[in-house]
Amino acid sequence: MKKLISLFLALVMTISFAACGGKNTDKTDSQGATSDSAGSGEVIEAFGKPANEIGVTLVLNTNLGDHAICDLSNQGLQEAAEQYGFNPTVVELGGDVTLQVPTMQEYAEDPDCDIIIAGTSNLKEAVQQVAQEYPDQMFILYDAQDDLGLENVFSMDHAQNEGAYLAGVAAALLTTSDAELANPEKIVGFVGGGQNTALEDYLVGYIQGVHSVDEEIDILVSWIGDFKDTAKGMELATAQADQGADVIFSVAGVAGLGTLSGCAESGIYSIGVDSDQYTSLIETDPTTAANICTSMYKQANVTVSKLLGMALDGSLEMGTYVKWGLKEGVVGLATDNDNYQKIFTDEMKAKIEEVQTAATNGELEIISAIGLDTETLQELLATASAQ
């Protein structure tokens, strides 16, 4: 009952708050990442308590140190904590599915935890189960949709298919070019962690982007099976390189670091994910970084920070779902680093910029795996070669 008590106190004190268990019948998809409601720095009280007594717990399915979504999510948490003054907690589950539900139950029962935020479809079912068990607890689920419409859950997806489309265009332009590490074969690759709707969304966008440049380009697809096995990631990258791929898009969290390393060892280009992985690895692993031609960024740090700000100032509409992408500036292609500028020609850069502008303006039809019927999805995936 801790949230109901806080709600009563908040009303008495007439302060701004976020209602964890309050009814919300407005299910409209009207929110956007450009909202002015977050980031003002003016929120000093919520849930009927001062900021320094508010607790926010970020639950990560795997671990920090991936130079990708986990690190970015934690960055967003820490930035929001610094701005608003709440107490942040990070929980790393290490990929252990048996820890998901009991961990969330533990924090839902903790009177010092006001918001539980968790990301990716791997944690969706756990969030939904515990949210139903604790209807007064606020949950924020990103990179997955709460299809139950629970009134104490806000959910969102990044339009990773849009960013992956740009990655596909970049890969296709390289494999058909005279770039230093390109070979005569028109073959590119994709190595994913675990196969799920979100990862298929990357793949669908990537396939579309590649074939928008040249429909004759072959796309090799391999799945690691988890997001931790760096050795398997390296092995699959090497296997694809042996089959003629000269550019591989790595979407596999920590395991993806192995894929990037495998590309470097095989003397081919790699495309990173979530963060600008060339920039994040250039000092600690310059050999691997040297072959990262670009990265499809997904700014989970911006998303997490903004969503927490909205939760604290009361503008986050619980029970709703949104999708943010190129238009909202949270996905795209890393083009500002030295490696991208060196590897891609001016003509290729102009083409990528042209495609990004058209996609951002909604002039391109980029299909998403999210909500797509099974038959159509399988037809799209069949245009690539599973390994």
Query: Residue 138 forms beta bridges with which residues?
Result: 115
pLDDT for the residue numbered 2: 40
pLDDT for the residue numbered 45: 81
Distance between CA atoms of residues 57 and 221, nearest Å: 35
Closest CA to 143 of 241, 73, 64, 218: 73
User: How crowded is residue 357: how many other Cβ atoms within 10 Å of its Cβ?
Assistant: 12
Each residue's pLDDT expressed in tens, for the chain with a length of 387 residues: 444 334 333 333 333 333 333 323 233 333 444 333 334 455 568 888 999 999 999 999 999 999 889 999 999 999 999 999 999 999 999 999 999 999 999 999 999 999 999 998 899 999 999 999 999 999 999 999 999 999 999 999 999 999 999 999 999 999 999 999 999 999 999 999 999 888 999 999 999 999 999 999 999 999 999 999 999 999 999 999 999 999 999 999 999 999 999 999 999 999 999 999 999 999 999 999 999 999 999 999 999 999 999 999 999 999 999 999 999 999 999 999 999 999 999 999 999 999 999 999 999 999 999 889 999 999 988 988 766
Report the sign of the C-alpha dihedral through residues 47, 119, 274, 228, in that order.
Answer: positive
- What are the backbone dihedrals phi and psi of residue 171, each rounded to the nearest 5 degrees, phi first? -60, -45
pLDDT for the residue numbered 43: 52
User: Alpha helices, DSSP H only, in 109-215?
Assistant: 124-133, 160-175, 197-213
DSSP letter assigned to residue 144 = B
pLDDT for the residue numbered 44: 62
Pair 245, 187: CB distance under 8 Å: yes
User: How crowded is residue 238: how many other Cβ atoms within 10 Å of its Cβ?
Assistant: 18
The edge-to-edge listing of strands for the beta sheet with 218-223 is 331-333, 292-298, 269-274, 247-251, 187-192, 218-223, 385-386
Pair 325, 366: CB distance under 8 Å: no
State which H helix or E strand residue 303 sits in: helix 300-313
pLDDT for the residue numbered 14: 30
Distance between CA atoms of residues 334 and 69, nearest Å: 15
Distance between CA atoms of residues 248 and 20, nearest Å: 43
Terminal-to-terminal C-alpha distance of the chain: 52
Residue bearing tokens 């299809």: 147
State which H helix or E strand residue 371 sits in: none
